[in-house]
Amino acid sequence: MTALSIQPPFPIITDIDGQPLEDGYIWIGTAGLNPIGNPISVYWDAALSVPAALPVRTRGGYPMRSGTPARLYVDSDYSLLVQNKNGSTVYSALTATERLSGVVVEVDATDVAFLQAGTGAVTRTAQAKMREVVSITDFGGAFGAGDNTSAMNAAAAYLDSVGGGAILLPTVGEWRMNWVCLFDNITVQGVGGGGEYNENCIRPYSISSPAITFGDGNTIVRYCGLDNVHISGVPVAGSGAGGVTQAALNASHALRLRGGTVNFTANRVVLYNGVRSLGLEPSSTQPVTGVRFNDGTIRNDLTDSANARCIFEEYVNASGYCTDNKFNNLKLNGPTLGYASESIDCLLEVNDSYWDIKPEKGVYLDGASGIVCYNLQLDPGTNDVVVMTWSDATSDPSRYVRGILRHGGQRFRNSGGTLPLPAEADSFSYKHRLHTPYLSSTVYFSQLTDPYNETVFFDRSGSTAGSPLRLNGANYDVAKDLRIYGGNASAAGYVSANSAGGGLYFEAIGTDQSIRFVPTGAGYNIMAGTGTRPSADNTQPIGTSGFRWSVVYAGTGTINTSDEREKQDISSLDAAEKRVAAALKGLVKKFRFKDAVQAKGDHARIHVGVVAQEVIAAFQAEGLNPRRYGIVCYDEWDAQPAQPEIRDEDDNVIRPYESERPAGNRYGIRYEQLLAFIIAAL
């Protein structure tokens, strides 16, 4: 038999001789000070509502309240003095950290120290440790039949005051609420669910609205989320009263993300029922964007509503857009009469997911919509895996489907009829043509370019007139180079502008950014049309001092400005200038270039001309400044690091290697002016 220890209900204070303290005195005061002269408030109850007069007397070793043993309570640190009936000190401590074991004075959690195990741990109060976690129960929440909306609001308001955090639902149970989150940086943290979808989960307290809604259509709500929670759209637990199959017994959603929801993340979330299990619904003034739904499950068992959806998303207008929302590793079970998902004028993006859909009730693309899917399997529907309503859908699924979609021989259907999907064993891969009606008028190509380097087509139909397409490499490395594949025997690909008043515009965004046209092998940069010109008159050179053209082939010579209307200070050469000109005539020599000799040896050709430094000396000999004349040129350049070679996936060089170039300088001569100068002296 195990022995049981019987503990006294109150600690006993002993006298100097070890006997229970009889007729003793207990003084309690300000920490660090003598308690007799610096008393503090002491109470008989933990609620601190019944004051105790000091000193407190003892009998039989116990503090006495009206002849009955009792405990003492304070709300701060303290000093302590215990005396016997003769006034002799039994125990004394100026701080609570030196308490006598068995003294019955009690304090709150701010006076209790906590030290984590491990090297480097620091001492904190127990209250600071406990407040690291914010639970719905801290604000009066409880699972069961009650409404937890107020508790959620109070917890979220507190977290908002400290910059955000997580609200913990600490146990598996029925947490009923109709909560609308309008704060930033709030995450609801759960511990999963205790049953199959509609058991022991978060559910609506009232059928009038979803259990949880983020945003209200007006307020921007950023960086919120859900983690490891189960949410049902059925107010009644279990499968009773037809709630799992009848739309009339379901709230509008299990989870609703309204306009203003930005950068929302859901991890390990299970959604069940509601007419729309998950709604991504922007308003006319606020978007829903940046949603990430990861490693979750959505199931909708409604059998009597054609409006039932597991996922619903829509584009409203240029302000109420719905973009950049992705579903990753999502298990989905679709309703009987509705669709697994519906997208209205927006793009559905799904990766590495399995969707169990009903026949003819798969992905519903309403209006100018599309689907991007990497390894999405739709099963076991037998017909119409992708359904379109837009009459412009034609017979080409590649305009609306991009990626890898696994199926079982189903069909693509639009308002004009059906089209059998490709006959591959179980999947097909399409390159989706991107449409702009579901985006802003200016489209950034990289927003929709995938990281798998697939060719993407762009279709301007339905977009705002005159709005540009911008090829932007901000999101993926593969988009940092514009690559065009395919084409025909005469051209590998085209970038063209068909508008008579428009044209094609290439612009490097940023500081000192270049645009490169790099053909391979013996290829050329070929430009057609009426000519090539700078963007502004007389402002831009061809080449630089450090990067020169090697040879210029031309049918005629260059034309230089010689209009009298654009000149001033016109005069004949003076005597000193003519003497320089005569000297320059004698400085014409033959020579070979060093780099040519290094490359060609004795085959390097002989050139005729002058040496810039000798020309400078001739001017200086007559007291003239050669830099005042447009004959001699001098340029400097900074050092440039080496640039690595870049090749595409077919091992074609798209940018050749460029070696490191040290800083340097070079003299040059404008020969047309030199020759004119010399002729003046003849």
pLDDT band per the 50, 70, 90 thresholds, residue 297? very high
172 assigned to some structural domain? yes
Check residue 231 and give its pLDDT: 95
What domain range is 43 assigned to? 1-132
Single-letter residue type at 479? A
Residue 9 belongs to domain with CATH number: 2.170.14.10
CA distances from 185 to 236, 241, 321, 470 (A): 30, 38, 22, 33
Q: What angle do CA 365, 369, 375 make, to 5 degrees?
A: 75
**What whole-number distance in Å separates Cα of residue 451 and Cα of residue 476?**
6
Q: 108: pLDDT confidence band, cut at 50, 70 and 90?
A: low
- In which element (H, E) is residue 27 found? strand 25-29
Tell me what pLDDT residue 483 has.
45
Do 238 and 306 lie in one domain? The reply is yes
| Buried residues in 99-121 as b, exposed as e (16+ CB within 10 A) | eeeebbbeeeeebeeeeeeeeee
The pTM of the whole model exceeds 0.85: no
Q: Is residue 355 part of a domain?
A: no
Percent of the chain, pLDDT > 90? 38
pLDDT of residue 431: 44
Is residue 507, in this structure, part of any structural domain at all? no
CB 94 within 8 A of CB 36: no
Which CATH number does the domain housing residue 620 bear? 1.10.10.10
In the structure, what pLDDT confidence band is assigned to residue 140 with cuts at 50, 70 and 90? Answer: very high
Task: Transcribe 129-181 into DSSP letters.
Answer: HHTTSEEGGGGT--SSSS--HHHHHHHHHHHHHTT-EEEE--SSS-EEE-EEE
Q: Tell me, yes or no, whether 120 and 172 share the same domain.
A: no
446 against 630, higher pLDDT: 630
Contact predicate 270/296, CB 8 Å: yes
Choose one of 461, 488, 515: the last residue of a domain: 488
Q: Are 457 and 393 in a shared domain?
A: yes
Does residue 206 belong to any structural domain of this protein?
yes
Query: Considering the domain boundaries, does residue 17 fall inside one?
Result: yes
Number of domains in the chain: 4
Domain identity same for 108 and 155:
no
Q: Is residue 55 reached through a cis peptide bond, with omega within 30 degrees of 0 on the bond before it? A: yes
Q: Which of 488, 519, 537 is the last residue of a domain?
A: 488
| 469 & 616 share domain | no
In a domain, 170, yes or no: yes
In sequence order, what are the residues at sequence separation of 6 or more whose Cβ sits closer than 8 angstroms to the Cβ of residue 87? 25
Same-domain check for residues 167 and 212: yes
Q: How confident is the model at residue 501 (pLDDT cuts 50, 70, 90)?
A: low
Q: What is the pLDDT of residue 55?
A: 94
Q: Which of 32-36, 362-366, 524-528 has the lowest mean pLDDT?
A: 524-528
The answer on 475 and 398 residing in a single domain is: yes
Q: How far is CA 547 from CA 252, 441, 630, 659, in A?
A: 67, 40, 21, 13
Q: Which of 488, 523, 543 is the last residue of a domain?
A: 488
**Pairwise CA distance, residues 615 & 112, whole Å:** 91
Task: Please report, as a single letter, which amino acid is at residue 73.
Answer: Y
Do 152 and 3 sit in the same domain of this protein? no
Crossing angle of helices 612-621 and 575-585, rounded to 10° = 150
Mean pLDDT value across residues 113-135: 87
Share of the chain above pLDDT 70, in %: 73
Same domain membership, residue 126 and residue 154: no
Contact 202, 243 (CB under 8 A): no
Tell me the per-residue pLDDT of 579-634, one tens digit each, with 9 for 90 and over.
998 999 999 999 999 999 999 999 999 999 999 999 999 999 999 999 999 899 99
State residue 621 phi and psi, 5-degree precision.
Answer: -65, -25
User: 241 with 260, same domain?
Assistant: yes
Name the more confident of 506 and 353.
Answer: 353
193 and 325: one domain? Answer: yes
pLDDT band at 386 (very low <50, low <70, confident <90, very high): confident
Condensed to tens digits (0 to 9), the pLDDT of residues 163-219 reads 999 999 999 989 999 999 999 999 999 998 766 677 889 999 999 999 999 999 999
The region of weakest confidence among 261-275, 359-373, 507-521 is 507-521
Residue 567 lies in a domain: no
* Residue 274 near residue 231 (C-beta atoms within 8 A): no
CB 615 within 8 A of CB 674: yes
Indicate the pLDDT class of residue 228, thresholds 50, 70 and 90: very high
Res 52: pLDDT: 92
pLDDT of 539 above 60? yes
Q: Given this model, what pLDDT does residue 187 score?
A: 97
- The pLDDT-based confidence of 511 (bands split at 50, 70, 90) is low
Q: What does the pLDDT look like over 638-662, one tens digit per residue?
A: 888 888 887 765 676 767 788 888 9
> Do 206 and 291 fall within a single domain?
yes
Nearest to 260 by CA among 284, 231, 233: 284
Average pLDDT over residues 135-140: 95
The answer to whether position 343 is within a domain reads no
**Residue 234: predicted pLDDT:** 92
